[in-house]
Amino acid sequence: MSSAPVELDPRGQGPDVPWHLSGSRQPVFEEATLTDLEVEGEIPRELNGRYFRNTANPVTGYTEHWFIGDGMIHGVELREGKANWYRNRWVRTPMFDHPGVDRLTLALDKEKFTFDHSVSAANTHIIGHGGKILALEEGSFPYEVTPEIETVGPHTFGGKLKGPFTAHPKFCPDTGEMLAIGYNAVPPYLTYMRVDPAGKLIQSTEIAVTGPTMMHDFAATRNHAIFMDLPAIFDVEMAMKGGMPIRWSDDYPARFGVMPREGSDDQTVWFDVAPCYCFHTMNAYEDGSEVVVHGMRVPEIWRDSANMDMSTPPPPEDMPRLHEWRFDLASGSVKERYLDDDASEFPRIAPARQGHPWRFGYALGGDPESAGMGGQINKYDVGNGATKEVHRFPTGHEPGESVFVPREGGTAEDDGYLMTFVWKPETDTSYMVILDAANISAEPLARIHIPRRVVSGFHSSWIPDPA
């Protein structure tokens, strides 16, 4: 941590602690390296690399909103059938170095009205590309970290990145490119980017959207990029008060834009959709003249406030559910439908199917017996009517987003492993689980026990050792 001791904010303590700072989301204040990890079952020997999860873990113990805590990476290194270590480290950013200071105070030059995009929470995702490991948060530059989770610093692709970079890039299995967006509260509101396999930024294109929309995610097929211009918009007055400066607008149109993947703004075709929000897409692909997008749709978000309290979840119809949009580039028509009546979030697929027709997808599902984010992992089979197979965890245990890792020599789409961290409330400890993706309802192949809480957070990646 920083050299001066940090005084904990009392608002994150006591009986009235907010939902986003309670239970599995309660911050931890110690950085640790643990090497003597108990393992149940057998870790597949072919898994050589590191599984990382990024989490919002405020240094002071308190934030107004779940999404704005300081980034802390939790990771486990696997090699030759063994779990070598568990580590957790904060990402050293200006927000980490100035705990409790308002983000705008650090980032905004009021005279020039410019933003310092190195001011970041770096708390949403962690990915590997071009030989670098990057902690991502959509309002800022990426932050590079080492395989041991030590902070290198902000990453700007050799100075070519001028604004925010998405927390949800897409990785093309055919070209090796990383596709990305960056949205902003001031013009340009949206920028689309392509990064080559070596990590060089080779395209940066401004896209005209209606206004300052929060575009948390986007989608991509083999030949198109898809942008979601939806009615969750930036509010300057809310930003000046602190907290999450996003609100729902009934006056803002809801639409998706489809653009050739190496194209330009004037080639984007826009399609009106039913008002909604989509935090996360699962995949997109081309079907004749149609571009098909699957994602987790909600009817609206944050109408009255951006507060998040899932201690009493809303009814299923207001929760995120797997949805399909079909955009016909020939006729201009749109078809959309829900594929599941049950809530689910944090969708992932096999990386080899990104941008292509797919059959199996994985998501965090809601278990009625669990009061947390969800107590199960759903495996969707969209080739069979979006039926699902489920891995249920013990009552009260909370898994996070699961990541698919292909098996060496595997040929089937689901021939591989699922990894996630799971919180165990009765001991306030966690474990990493490895499931057989082809048979997820079976007992785990391995559980790697971690004698402390791995904070429930956002997104995860398996980053294999270099070939």
- Determine, yes or no, domain membership for 5: no
pLDDT at 318: 86
- Determine, yes or no, domain membership for 292: yes
**Structural domain harbouring 358:** 10-464
433: which 2 tokens? 């689980």
Compute the distance between CA of residue 349 and CA of residue 173 in angstroms, rounded to an integer: 12
pLDDT at 115: 87
319 conformational bin, left if phi > 0, alpha if psi -120 to 50, beta if neither: beta
- Confidence check: pLDDT of 312 > 80: no
Compute the distance between CA of residue 449 and CA of residue 249 in angstroms, rounded to an integer: 45
- Determine, yes or no, domain membership for 1: no
What value does the mean pLDDT take over residues 306-319?
76
pLDDT at 368: 52
Cβ atoms of 119 and 165 closer than 8 Å: no
pLDDT at 177: 98
Domain count, the chain: 1
What value does the mean pLDDT take over residues 367-389?
80
pLDDT band at 373 (very low <50, low <70, confident <90, very high): low
- Determine, yes or no, domain membership for 408: yes
pLDDT at 113: 77
Compute the distance between CA of residue 380 and CA of residue 389 in angstroms, rounded to an integer: 7
Cβ atoms of 420 and 457 closer than 8 Å: no
pLDDT band at 4 (very low <50, low <70, confident <90, very high): low
pLDDT at 107: 87
What value does the mean pLDDT take over residues 421-431?
97
Compute the distance between CA of residue 310 and CA of residue 298 in angstroms, rounded to an integer: 15
Average pLDDT, the chain: 93
pLDDT band at 313 (very low <50, low <70, confident <90, very high): confident
CATH number, domain with residue 199? 2.130.10
- Determine, yes or no, domain membership for 310: yes
What value does the mean pLDDT take over residues 357-379?
80
pLDDT at 41: 98
- Confidence check: pLDDT of 108 > 90: no
pLDDT band at 304 (very low <50, low <70, confident <90, very high): confident
pLDDT digits (tens, 9 = 90+) for 140-186: 999 999 999 999 999 999 999 999 999 999 999 999 999 999 999 88
Cβ atoms of 226 and 219 closer than 8 Å: yes
239: which 2 tokens? 């930003």
pLDDT band at 64 (very low <50, low <70, confident <90, very high): confident
pLDDT digits (tens, 9 = 90+) for 121-138: 999 999 999 999 999 999
pLDDT band at 2 (very low <50, low <70, confident <90, very high): very low
- Determine, yes or no, domain membership for 3: no
pLDDT band at 246 (very low <50, low <70, confident <90, very high): confident
- Determine, yes or no, domain membership for 2: no
pLDDT at 371: 43
pLDDT at 84: 98
pLDDT digits (tens, 9 = 90+) for 82-94: 999 999 999 999 9
- Confidence check: pLDDT of 372 > 70: no
94: which 2 tokens? 């200006």
- Determine, yes or no, domain membership for 40: yes
